[in-house]
Structure formats: C-alpha cells, structure tokens
Structure 1
Amino acid sequence: MNTIVDTYLRTWNTTDAAARAELLTQHWVEDACYVDPLAEVAGRDGIGAAIEAVQAQFPGFVFSRVGEPDSHHNQTRFQWGLGPEGAEPVVIGFDVVVTNDEGRIASVHGFLDKVPA
C-alpha cells in the first residue's frame, strides 16, 4: 500500500509532462477516473491535465504523505499535504485510491480537509 501511495504522489509531483505521462501509462489504467470537490476527469489525458492545472495553481509546491495509509481489498486511503517542500502543508486532503487486480490505479476519490482562504 505504501508503494501505491508513493507512486500516486510521484505522479502528482512530476512536472515534466512526458515523464508524468509515462507514470500514468505504467501505473494507471487507460480509463482511470479521478474525482474531488474541484475536478472530475476520466482517462490518463484528463488526469494529466488536472495534475498540470494544480501544478500551475501552486507552482513549486509538492505533495507529501501525511500519516500512514490504510488499505483493504483493492482500496487504499491516505491523507496528503500540498505545500512548499519541507514546510507545513497549505492544503491537506484525503484520497481513496482503488486499484484493479493488477495493482494499477483505476479510480481516485478525493476530499479536501484544509484549503487556503
């Protein structure tokens, strides 16, 4: 479960579009979906575009794991932070990642716990 979370966060932190597309291809199913209070996208291209939009909105910020993930069956839940590297996160969220039988990410259901004013 740590590998799933680390791979997921690495995808969100990768700013090079080609490298991010490679991570999406390797670790996400083709028709994966992502939904949170601010976005609902499907497919690797849609997810890549959503990631790029967040990176543009928060330049230089990185996603980090907050606490330990919890997992059962093919789903893993964990809390994450977004902020300057090594600093207190500006945004904190909670995601549930669902994988297929091969361990590739099929869907993500995200929640926002702390957002800037």
Structure 2
Amino acid sequence: MNDFNAIAAAYIEAFNATGAVERKRLVSDVFTPEVAYTDPMAAVAGHGGIEAFIAGAHQQFPGWVFTLVGPVDGHGRQARFAWGLGPEGAEPPVVGFDVVVLDDDGRIAQVLGFLDKVPSA
C-alpha cells in the first residue's frame, strides 16, 4: 500500500529544491529514471528533464514556493493532488492539479499535470 500523502509531500519537496545537488538527489528519490512529465506548458522525460523543468520554474518565479492545496487522493498506483505556486504565506497566483502514476516501488513513473489558475499576462 502506498502512502499517497508522503508521496505528494516528497513531490512538492523536490519541486521546491533550489540547489542543483539537492534537486538531483530529491528527483532521484521521488521519480523513476524514465519518468514522463506532461502539462500544458511542457513535456519532459527522465531525471534530467524533471530537474531542468524544476530549475526553469525557479528561474521564472524566483523566491516562490510550491505548496499542497487540499487533500491528496489516491488508489492503486495513482494519486491526484492540487498544488499552488506563489510567495510563501500568500495566496498562490498559480494553482494546478497533478495525477501521478507510481511504479511497483512507489516512485513516480508518470505525471499528468493540469493548470487551473494562471495569472494573465
């Protein structure tokens, strides 16, 4: 049985990693080597793709943090959760929803991401 709350928390921790060494370690712990990530803004694969995607988010939104928004729901080998991105302690201007599919070891093998709230340009 998977602890979906712990998996979502580890996912958010990896996405909040601003240092390359820490990010590499967390991505390796949380995601399978052949992970596939797709959302409306990107499609990347593998640890390198995820690491670059996270680094790009921090470059685009310096100082902002990812947080879980609401409960985590899961069954079998998949989970879904909402997340926010914004200044720490403030209402997040970006909100999304991710569905993750796990491998047999409980690591994330696939991410299907959706953007629910994005500020206008």
Query: For the superposition of Structure 1 and Structure 2, which TM-score range results when normalised by the shorter chain?
Result: over 0.9
1: CA distance, partners of 2:28 / 2:117: 30
Counterpart of 2:115, as a letter, is L
Q: Which residue of 2 aligns with 1:12?
A: 15
In the alignment, the residues of structure 1 paired with residue 98 and residue 81 of structure 2 have an alpha-carbon distance, to the nearest angstrom, of 6
Kindly state the Cα deviation for residue 109 of structure 1 after the two structures are TM-superposed: 0.4
Structure 2, unmatched stretches of 5+, are none
Give the match for residue 64 of structure 1. 67
5+ residue gaps, structure 1, are none
Structure 2 contact 15–66 (Cα < 8 Å) conserved: yes
Runs of 4+ in 1 over 2 A off after TM superposition: none
Instruction: Please give the residue correspondences for 1:74-113 in structure 2 after superposition, counting only pairs within 5 Å.
Output: 74-113=77-116
CA distance in 2 between partners of 1:81 and 1:104 (Å)? 22
State the number of aligned residues: 117
The residue type paired with residue 56 of structure 2 is A
Does the CA contact (< 8 Å) of 2:16 and 2:65 recur in 1? yes
Paired with 1:43 and 1:91, the residues of 2 have a C-alpha distance of 25
Tell me the secondary structure at the aligned position of residue 84 of structure 2. Answer: strand
Give me the identity figure in percent: 53
